[in-house]
């Protein structure tokens, strides 16, 4: 659901463009994107992209994440002073909330498959109470990247038994490719898609458990996730910070997501009598090329994430 019921009001763009022009910064035409709009801004010395988002409350947030030039960012902020709103109230990007382990309930959310050419994108959300978190730590639950495939598959069953609530969202390649393309057409990125799937998983667990705090590993789509959840589940507090997998609910979600990814990766290869490889290595490229030679380029839509550079290395049909 977009935070705008229709295209963003022209007044937001016109006001910002007027302030920029007054400061000698040229504002290009705006383009509607997911949850807001974007436009090119430039001077004789630099050119960059500016994005603007609006929360359901009407508050406007200017996003400087695409601005790579410190001089440009300083000039833009000075010109737009008074129009920018601070980070959304649901956000805690620096992880300033303390004593998360002391909360009676905590939701963790994590994904698997984002960097794997073959297979689905899987996002899992897990709600744990303190007793459940202690049981999982004792069982050996930790960040899935520190575990073997077999350990992830085994521990996932333990997580399912112990958790207060779980939700696993799976985008198999055909759905993933369709949603990625739709997101790109709307001006979004992979992180926008990732935030959307996280929000879907988290919303369900929050509704089932009644938990009011969620911890997510920090990624570039943090503002989008904050705003999505502010609309879908008002009152839910979102904490985003690096290495969130150190907290048991996020570790449990990472194990659950990885186990499901591994299971579906095996299933996707069965019709072609092949064990699809993980990651995006040279071996993966070779395996993909062999499948295209045997089944045609259309096979990639059913087993792979076609926006990866791997696709362009082996065929020109995409």
Query: 60-76 pLDDT, tens per residue?
Result: 677 777 787 777 888 88
Residues 180-206 have a mean pLDDT of 91
Rounded Cα distance between 59 and 186, Å, is 22
Helix, strand or coil, per DSSP, at residue 24: coil
pLDDT at residue 260, as a whole number: 98
Binding-site residues: 110-111, 217
Domain residue ranges in the chain: 10-80, 100-266, 273-314
Query: Is the pTM value of this prediction over 0.75?
Result: no
At residue 209 the predicted structure's pLDDT band, cuts being 50, 70 and 90, is very high
Task: Provide the percentage of residues in the chain whose pLDDT is more than 90.
Answer: 53
Binding site members for a divalent metal cation = 110-111, 217
Q: What is the CATH number of domain 10-80?
A: 3.30.310
Are 53 and 223 in contact, with CB atoms under 8 Å apart? yes
Per residue in 11-34, pLDDT (tens digit) is 777 878 888 888 889 999 888 876
Q: What is the CATH number of domain 100-266?
A: 3.30.420.10
Q: Which of 112, 117, 115 is nearest to 292 (CA)?
A: 117
H-state helical runs in 233-281: 248-269
Interatomic CA distance for residues 312 and 105, integer angstroms: 45
pLDDT of residue 128: 95
Specify whether the CB–CB gap between 209 and 249 falls below 8 A: no
Pick the closest to residue 42 from 27, 21, 52, 62 (CA basis): 27
Percent of the chain with pLDDT over 70: 86
Each residue's pLDDT tens digit, 79-113: 887 444 333 344 444 444 556 767 899 999 999 99
């Amino acid at each position: 659901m977009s935070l705008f019921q229709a295209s963003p009001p022209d007044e937001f763009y016109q006001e910002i463009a007027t302030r920029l022009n007054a400061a000698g910064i040229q504002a290009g035409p705006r383009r509607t994107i997911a949850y807001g709009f974007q436009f090119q801004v430039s001077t004789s010395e630099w050119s960059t992209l500016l994005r603007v988002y609006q929360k359901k409350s009407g508050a406007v947030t200017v996003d400087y994440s695409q601005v790579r030039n410190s001089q440009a960012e300083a000039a833009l902020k000075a010109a737009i002073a008074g129009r920018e709103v601070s980070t959304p109230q649901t956000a805690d990007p620096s992880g300033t909330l303390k004593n998360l382990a002391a909360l009676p309930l905590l939701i963790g959310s994590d994904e698997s498959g984002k960097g794997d050419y073959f297979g689905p994108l899987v996002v899992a959300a897990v709600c744990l109470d303190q007793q459940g978190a202690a049981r999982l730590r004792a069982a050996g639950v930790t960040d899935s990247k520190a575990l073997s495939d077999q350990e992830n598959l085994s521990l996932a069953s333990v997580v399912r038994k112990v958790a207060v609530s779980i939700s696993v969202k799976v985008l198999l390649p055909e759905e993933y490719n369709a949603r990625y393309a739709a997101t790109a057409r709307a001006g979004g990125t992979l992180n926008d898609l990732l935030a959307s799937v996280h929000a879907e998983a988290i919303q369900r667990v929050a509704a089932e458990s009644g938990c009011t705090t969620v911890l997510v590993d920090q990624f570039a789509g943090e503002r989008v996730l904050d705003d999505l959840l502010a609309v879908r589940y008002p009152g839910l507090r979102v904490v985003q910070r690096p290495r969130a997998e150190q907290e048991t609910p996020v570790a449990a979600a990472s194990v659950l997501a990885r186990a499901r990814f591994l299971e579906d990766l095996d299933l996707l290869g069965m019709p072609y009598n092949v064990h699809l490889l993980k990651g995006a290595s040279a071996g993966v490229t070779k395996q993909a090329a062999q499948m295209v030679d045997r089944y045609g380029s259309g096979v990639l839509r059913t087993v792979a994430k076609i926006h990866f550079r791997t696709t362009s290395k082996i065929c020109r049909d995409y």
